[in-house]
Amino acid sequence: MTTLAKPDIIDRRILAALQEDGRMSNLALARRVGLTPTPCQERVKRLERDGYITGYAARLDPARLDLGLLVFVQVTLDRTTTDVFGRFAAAIRSFASVAECHMVAGGFDYLLKIRCRDMADYRRILGDELGSIDGIAQTHTYAVMEEIKTETALPV
């Protein structure tokens, strides 16, 4: 198994720049980080190959796509067994409305981030989607009134 080299300062500049603008041309990226295009492209390919860059995506405006309601849902399972965890995870992966799902330690088992049209749409998701999962004992919903900070970039 090969040990991956930690990103150096130039790699970190590349990562920061691509997080800001993933569509930046290699020439613009090279100029921004102080390299010539060929070594810059080689570094980007290495960062992709080594798994530091896992993909590229556009950031979309949820309100323009009629997905203006953001809710967080705490989920408590009735049992914390491997089979219940597995069934829950498989079901959640099949729901497009669930943007994120995190298993957490503490007073509940999972924290979900759900994007939907409005409260009626969320009510449908709660009943039809989450309600279809065997093993959920309890949910608590928190509707977001205002998004103060939404950041996708990692501090590099």
Q: Give backbone dihedrals phi and psi of 72, rounded to 5 degrees, phi first.
A: -110, 135
> Does residue 101 carry a pLDDT above 70?
yes
Cα angle value 23/27/33 (rounded, 5°):
90
Helix, strand, or coil (residue 83): helix
Give residue 4's pLDDT band: very low, low, confident or very high (50, 70, 90): confident
Contact 75, 136 (CB under 8 A): yes
pLDDT for position 5? 80
pLDDT in tens, 9-42: 999 999 999 999 999 999 999 999 999 999 999 9
pLDDT in tens, 67-87: 999 999 999 999 999 999 999
59 CB-near residues (< 8 Å, 6+ apart): 152
pLDDT in tens, 135-156: 999 999 999 999 999 999 999 9
Average pLDDT over residues 95-118: 97
- Interatomic CA distance for residues 139 and 12, integer angstroms: 40
> Does residue 2 carry a pLDDT above 80?
no
- Interatomic CA distance for residues 110 and 101, integer angstroms: 7
